[in-house]
Chains A and B, each alone.
Chain A
Amino acid sequence: MSNVLLDKTPLTKGSFNIVPDDKHSQLDINISVCYQQFDLEIKLPIPLNGIAGIFGHSASGKSTLLRAIAGLEKKLVGEITLTDTNIADKVLVNTTKGIYLKPEERQIGLVFQNSRLFGHLSVLGNLEYAVKRCKNRRLDLNEVIELTELTALLEHQISELSGGQQQRVALARAILAEPKLLLLDEPLSALDQHSKTQLLKMILNIQKKLNLPMLYVSHSLDELQQVCDTLLVLAQGKVVNFGNIHQVIHQLNNFGESTLIHQQTSLSLAIKQFNNGHGLTVLALNAQQEIYLISDKSFENQTQLRCFILASDISIALTEPNNSSIVNHLFGTIKQISNKQNKVLLTISCGSQEFFVTISAFSQQKLSLASRQQVYLQFKASAVRTFIH
């Protein structure tokens, strides 16, 4: 990585568990934007590999960050550089050198929350708008139309489309401009649950098929947990954490006084059996232990499943609860106990996987739980959640 442009101060590398590699292109960001409510200050390299999530509450600066990368934020100070091992570094912004690439010169796509389609053009017209302006065309229009399931809608006017259909057109249009990086700004937030699931799957599929790196901004952790490989957490304009999605979520469980998220265990497990004959899907936790959850048609033909279990949905028993309707019992060792007023957060290792459990201080005292103690975790199959539920 050539850091000539980033003057004397090197980018933060060691503080987060993501180490940039030489295989993928990367976005070096070192910017600040002053606002009345908060100052956005971001300094880190984001490897452009798969889907990176950007999570934060409203006014955390996540949309501003996307706008800065896209070239729509004019008030920023600092630099953003797109580095690629195959081609020369592309400086998007460098305010000290007076460089500011216009959005149309950046080859970065953006899918907005409100699709922003051109009402005077048909669906096909909107797609062709992007195709006509794309240099070095490689993608086939029909392939993208199929990927986004728009074949039946091509002649429709934009006003005739539902919210979900509009977002699909916006997604297809953004892809057809053939960007080097696709930004997604809360693309699902205006949709119903069914359309959300459909679009999310489409985004995943497109990412894999086209190998297009994406930055996905959302205030919904469930959404991000489902699709992202890495997660960047912002709070009040500052980077709180950045790294592997599961690790970051687990670190957020212990995030100080104000919890940013519902404490949970985030998992990505292999599907062992799609349906065990009773409508339950079996996931392999490790060689000995399994997790059951309620089957959904969408799990079929998948080998891996992303799911999460809220810490408040798991309970602790000292002996194996064999006479219980609760299907999931896991055996583990208490690794850490942290008290917060009358609530206790337990970190329990089951093999190499950590689970997070919240119980009352009352229960902890009753069971006299201590570090390194061996316990049983129990949770219902319905407590294992995926984005689809």
Chain B
Amino acid sequence: MINSDLQALITTLEMAALTTIILLMIGTPLAWYLAKMTSRFKVIIEAVVALPLVLPPTVLGFYLLIAFSPEHLPGQLWQQATGQQLAFSFSAIVIGSVLYSLPFVVQPLQKAFEQLGDSLLEAGSLLGAGPIDRFFSIVLPLTKASFITAASLGFAHTVGEFGIILMIGGNIPGETRVLSIALFDHVEAFDYARAHLLSISLLIGSMILLAAIYWLNLPKKKRRQRLSVNTKQKQTNSYE
């Protein structure tokens, strides 16, 4: 892989990793709040969270571009705090990705928290466990699969993002030039060989990631069975 593409890959992975961490930190309490919420406003918050699923990324990107510009309050505040412009920066594409991938993290977690219910938490509280203790000792281990799903979907979806980054990040190498944009550049320049290379590596990478999620989400016993079946098959193959 050529240097510039490698740099795009690094930028992409950095963006996706940071986005996923932020998403888990924001998405977990939000999902918890939504799961326990009984107010009428629940549907409105749910709709706002789900919006990126239906909205064209360019719409979200357009509004973010305006908000991030130094003429508007969010952009101004950012500039005052950091001394740097927000639009067309790495921070901008991370913020955009967080908003864009939010439903992929919040929805599986919310569903898991709703299914978990209150009964085990009540049992935990009667055994002396406070709220934070209950989260780490009961909620997290019992909804581990959903956390893995949420994190992987958030990560994978961020890697595959295009429209929103083009709008708010532009195409600055080492800063905002991510894989999907590099690919678009190659196609525009009729460099199909490099486009193929990027495409196939993205495709295989995504395949591996998704397979890993499904495997991690298998119950432990089945995971062991699959492994032992595979080793047995390998053994029989080696006898042939």
Check B128 for interface membership: any CB of A closer than 8 A. yes
**Cβ contacts under 8 Å, B119 to chain A:** 112, 114, 116
Q: Does B59 contact A (CB under 8 A)?
A: no
The answer to whether B122 and A129 have CB atoms under 8 Å apart is no
Beta-carbon contact of A120 and B141 below 8 Å: yes
Chain B, residues 178-199, CB within 8 Å of chain A (1/0): the string is: 0000000000000000000000
Nearest A residue (CB) for B122: A72
What CA separation (Å) do A72 and B121 show in the bound complex?
Answer: 11
Residues A103 and B142 in contact, CB atoms below 8 Å apart: no
Q: How many residues of B contact A (CB 8 A)?
A: 16
The 8 A CB mask of B105-146 against A (1 = contact, 0 = none) is 000000000000001101111111110010001100110000
Inter-chain contact B126/A108, CB cutoff 8 Å: yes
Q: Are A174 and B126 in contact (CB under 8 A)?
A: yes
Interface centre among A108, A112, A118, A174 (most CB of B within 10 A): A118
* CA of A134 to CA of B120, assembled, Å: 18
What are the interface flags for A70-91 relative to B under an 8 Å C-beta threshold, 1 for contact and 0 otherwise? 1110000000000000000000
Q: Could you tell me the distance between the alpha carbons of A71 and B126 in the complex, rounded to whole angstroms?
A: 9
With a cutoff of 8 Å between Cβ atoms, the chain B residues found around residue A134 in the complex are 128
A171 and B122 alpha carbons, distance in the complex (Å) = 15
Chain A contacts of B124 at CB under 8 A? 118, 129
Are A104 and B130 touching (Cβ within 8 A)?
yes
Known contacts A116-B120, A119-B142, A120-B142; A70 and B126 CB within 8 A of each other: yes
Q: Could you tell me the distance in whole angstroms from the C-beta of B75 to the nearest C-beta in chain A?
A: 44
Query: Quick one: given A116-B120, A120-B141, are A133 and B126 in contact (CB under 8 Å)?
Result: no
Q: Is B122 touching A173 in the complex (CB atoms < 8 A)?
A: no
B-chain residues with CB within 8 Å of residue A109 when the two chains form the complex: 126-127
Q: Taking the nearest CB of chain B, how far is it from the CB of A141, in angstroms?
A: 14
B133 touches A103 (CB 8 A): no
Alpha-carbon distance between A119 and B138 when the two chains are bound, in angstroms: 9
Q: Does A52 contact B (CB under 8 A)?
A: no
Q: How far apart sit A114 and B118, CA to CA, in the bound complex (Å)? A: 13
Measured between beta carbons, the chain A residues less than 8 angstroms from B120 are 116, 118
The CA-CA distance from A234 to B120 in the complex, in Å, is: 28
Query: Nearest Cβ in chain B — how far from A56, in angstroms?
Result: 22
Say which residue of B125, B130, B133, B138 sits within 8 Å of A118 (CB atoms): B138
Cβ of A324 to closest chain B Cβ, rounded Å? 54
B122 & A104 in contact (Cβ 8 Å cutoff): no
Q: List 13 A-B contacts (CB under 8 A).
A: A71-B125, A72-B126, A103-B122, A103-B125, A103-B126, A104-B130, A110-B123, A114-B119, A116-B120, A116-B122, A118-B120, A129-B124, A130-B127
Closest 5 CB pairs of A and B: A133-B128, A116-B123, A103-B125, A120-B141, A130-B127
B-side residues, CB < 8 A to A, are 119-120, 122-130, 133, 137-138, 141-142
A130-B128, A177-B127 known; 16 new pairs, CB 8 Å cut-off, are A103-B122, A103-B126, A104-B125, A110-B126, A112-B119, A112-B123, A116-B119, A116-B120, A117-B123, A120-B141, A120-B142, A129-B127, A134-B128, A173-B127, A174-B127, A177-B126
